[in-house]
Structure 1
Amino acid sequence: MLHYILRRVLQLIPVVIGVTFIVFALTYIAPGDPARLLLPQDASDEDVAEMRSAMGHDRPMLVQYFHFLFGYDGPGDSFDYKGLLRLDLGRSYVSNRPVFGTILDRFPNTALLAVIALVLSIVVSIPFGIISATRPYSKTDMVVTVLALLGISMPAFWLGMMLIWIFSVQLRLFPSLASPANLISLVLPAITLAAMSTAVQTRMTRSSMMEVIRQDYIRTARAKGLSEKQVIRKHALRNALIPVVTVIGLQVGNLMVGSVMTETVFSYPGIGTIMVDAIQRKDNPQILASVVFMALVFAVVNLLVDILYAFIDPRIKAQYEGSAKKKKGGFLNGFKRTKT
């Protein structure tokens, strides 16, 4: 198991590098000049060229990406940074604050909204998926299926605006602006953020449960006289949870990324609003730092989900341990043959 975890951690390195290179290339070719945005409108071309040189933006893209990874030491101290490998991407062009410091200040707000949305999606999706699977092709199943399809189809920004119009403008039940200090104000953004995740998890739970309850050991459990609740809870649900846990783990990363649109609609002070503001202002250090942070969170969550498999299904843990013993035994047998 330890060997597997170390291997997965090492696999995160090329993933993060690939993501950063793609995002860096997109910011490089995107229209707009950060040097001209930082200077007054009446700045001369010489002033812009001098500013671009100080920022390191007058060099080829690969050279700039090298500086992004290993640091940049410009002619002044304003735009110096130690690089991504030392978790220092410098300061924001707009706020002049360390970009990772700004993200860490806003991350608890985004995490709070994502956790509420995740809990809401799990509480709703798993029971509805089980009910839909145990009553296939019934009216309840049809209603759940239609709601799941609507949840998958509706864009987050449209759903958020509809919820604001209905519950904030018309009914005046919830505020239209969200704040981490007011949990009531998080109801609408949490529903908006959880809608797609709930729909996906409901469909996955239904599909997995329908596959499991058709197995022979479920028929055997029923033949032994166990009640339907005991069969579903003790025998079917645990085996059906493995693909569901996979989807939930992936949805955690999607909730972090999906918070960009939700936070923008509800003016919520999280990482999403930082990214949107940075994109609008061509604040490259803040954009790159936000994307790197999101990629790391997504990768770490997926790693934790893979580790969680072993605790849900002992067969997976036995597979890892058996593979490790087989490799170790092969090495020892080869050593003995060489020795003899």
Structure 2
Amino acid sequence: MFFLRFLAKRIVAIIITLAAVIAISYIMMYASPGGFMSTTQIATALAPLAAQDPVAYQKVMEQFQQRYGLNLPLWHQVLLYIWHSFTFNFGNSMENPSITIMSQLKSALPISVILAFASVVVSVVVGIPMGIIAALKRNTWIDYTVTTLSMFGQAIPSFVLAVIFVLIFGVVWQNVLPVTGWGTFSEAILPVISLAAGNIGVVARYMRGSLIETMRQDFIRTAKSKGVKYWPLVFKHGVKNSLTALITVIGPQFAFTVVGTVWVENIFAIPGLGKVINTAFTNFDFPLAITAVFILGATIMVTNLVVDLIYAWVDPRVKLQ
């Protein structure tokens, strides 16, 4: 019963937060100078009609506004987009009115998810051993080296690292690794590393701190006094219990990495969610932009909820409240 109440409260909080995010995003786009019909491509196409037949041009504008609800009051437009988002009735984009937004997401979203998942896997595979080594060699040059590399990885944003990779492998070391495209293993290497670098630092530091704290616990001293050998003590008792704390790090990492792919995908010309979002906001494509905001926001919030539930299930000491 308590679990259901907790879950209901979190779901209600997610719904309210997502509604607020959609409303703020839409109002900011609405208040921004310009609009879809004033973007370069559309304005150029309609310029002859506006000059030759202003009445026909006005009818085209009215039909367009009526189709996308832009003739309604602002509060009505906001509520309409919130309702369409939560009912998954995303409709068609302004840029491609013959193609549904859902079909665009079906081709773009999996690419971003795969890219984010691969980067998180790399960060876990590399970061956990780094953290273990740093913890076991605490206050030595190995520990200082791992800590320094972790701080560098966290300090450099993924999009800055992506630009550096493009300059190195696109100008200096040409034909070593591709800097554009998606579909082959070699094309995924640089984007994955760009996204994983910061996450590796986070995982390594958390693993180091968690393992140091675990090795100080009473049950470790008890196991040592019973004659448990060093390496079984470290991995069976120390590392195993330290990994629980990483759940609260890895889960949100995946969600935020999906968001982070937006900039990296644009730099490496990857046809993922980043390209869709960039096109939507650049062209004031309201339906597509709000849908992208909804998808990203829901990914972060739902992932955080799942992480909380898994953490409470894995560690009985943790209560849901």
Q: If the TM-score is normalised by the length of the shorter chain, which range does it land in?
A: 0.7 to 0.9
- Cross-structure match for 1:137: 139
- Cross-structure match for 2:176: 173
- Cross-structure match for 1:14: 16
What's the offset of the Cα at 1:12?
A: 2.0
- Going from structure 1 to structure 2, the CA distance change for 1:168 and 1:223 (only over 3 Å counts) comes to farther
- Output one character per residue of 1:177-234: Cα deviation in whole Å (capped at 9) or x when no partner: 131x212110000000111111112111112222221222222222222222212222
What's the offset of the Cα at 1:52?
A: 5.9
- Cross-structure match for 1:67: 80
Per the alignment, in what secondary structure is the counterpart of residue 26 of structure 1?
helix
Q: Distance in 1 between matches of 2:162 and 2:65?
A: 43
Aligned positions of 1:40-189 closer than 5 A: 40-42=46-48, 44=50, 47=57, 50=62, 53-54=65-66, 55-70=68-83, 83-96=84-97, 97-171=99-173, 172-179=175-182, 181-189=183-191
In 2, are the aligned partners of 1:238 and 1:312 still within 8 Å (CA)?
no
In 1, are the aligned partners of 2:165 and 2:190 still within 8 Å (CA)?
yes
Per the alignment, in what secondary structure is the counterpart of residue 277 of structure 1?
helix
- Cross-structure match for 1:218: 220
In 2, are the aligned partners of 1:106 and 1:271 still within 8 Å (CA)?
yes
- Output one character per residue of 1:266-293: Cα deviation in whole Å (capped at 9) or x when no partner: 0001001110111111111111101101
In 1, are the aligned partners of 2:22 and 2:82 still within 8 Å (CA)?
no
In 2, are the aligned partners of 1:35 and 1:51 still within 8 Å (CA)?
no
Q: Distance in 2 between matches of 1:145 and 1:247?
A: 17
- Cross-structure match for 1:270: 272
What's the offset of the Cα at 1:107?
A: 1.3
| Greater mean alpha carbon deviation, residues 166-175 or residues 279-288 | 166-175
- Going from structure 1 to structure 2, the CA distance change for 1:7 and 1:164 (only over 3 Å counts) comes to same
Letter in 2 for 1:62: W
TM-score (norm 1): 0.83
What's the offset of the Cα at 1:127?
A: 0.9
Q: Distance in 1 between matches of 2:27 and 2:231?
A: 55
- Output one character per residue of 1:80-110: Cα deviation in whole Å (capped at 9) or x when no partner: xxx2232113211112221122112211111
Residues 1:204 and 2:210 aligned together: no
- Output one character per residue of 1:88-147: Cα deviation in whole Å (capped at 9) or x when no partner: 132111122211221122111111111111110000111111111121121111111111
- Going from structure 1 to structure 2, the CA distance change for 1:63 and 1:103 (only over 3 Å counts) comes to same
Q: Distance in 2 between matches of 1:11 and 1:159?
A: 35
In 2, are the aligned partners of 1:257 and 1:294 still within 8 Å (CA)?
yes
- Cross-structure match for 1:236: 238
Letter in 2 for 1:178: G
| Greater mean alpha carbon deviation, residues 253-262 or residues 153-162 | 153-162
Q: Distance in 1 between matches of 2:231 and 2:27?
A: 55
Query: Structure 2: any 5+ residue segments left out of the alignment?
Result: none
| Greater mean alpha carbon deviation, residues 307-316 or residues 35-44 | 35-44
In 2, are the aligned partners of 1:156 and 1:192 still within 8 Å (CA)?
yes
Per the alignment, in what secondary structure is the counterpart of residue 315 of structure 1?
coil
- If asked which structure has higher relative contact order (CA below 8 Å, sep 6+), I would say 2
- Cross-structure match for 2:315: 313
TM-score (norm 2): 0.88
- Cross-structure match for 2:194: 192
**Superposition RMSD on alpha carbons, in Å?**
2.1
In 2, are the aligned partners of 1:178 and 1:189 still within 8 Å (CA)?
no
- Output one character per residue of 1:226-251: Cα deviation in whole Å (capped at 9) or x when no partner: 22221222222233223311011110
- Output one character per residue of 1:148-179: Cα deviation in whole Å (capped at 9) or x when no partner: 11111112222112122323433332111131
> Identical aligned pairs, as a percentage?
29
In 2, are the aligned partners of 1:260 and 1:273 still within 8 Å (CA)?
yes
Query: Structure 1: any 5+ residue segments left out of the alignment?
Result: 71-82, 324-340
Per the alignment, in what secondary structure is the counterpart of residue 152 of structure 2?
helix
Q: Distance in 1 between matches of 2:212 and 2:20?
A: 38
Per the alignment, in what secondary structure is the counterpart of residue 314 of structure 1?
coil
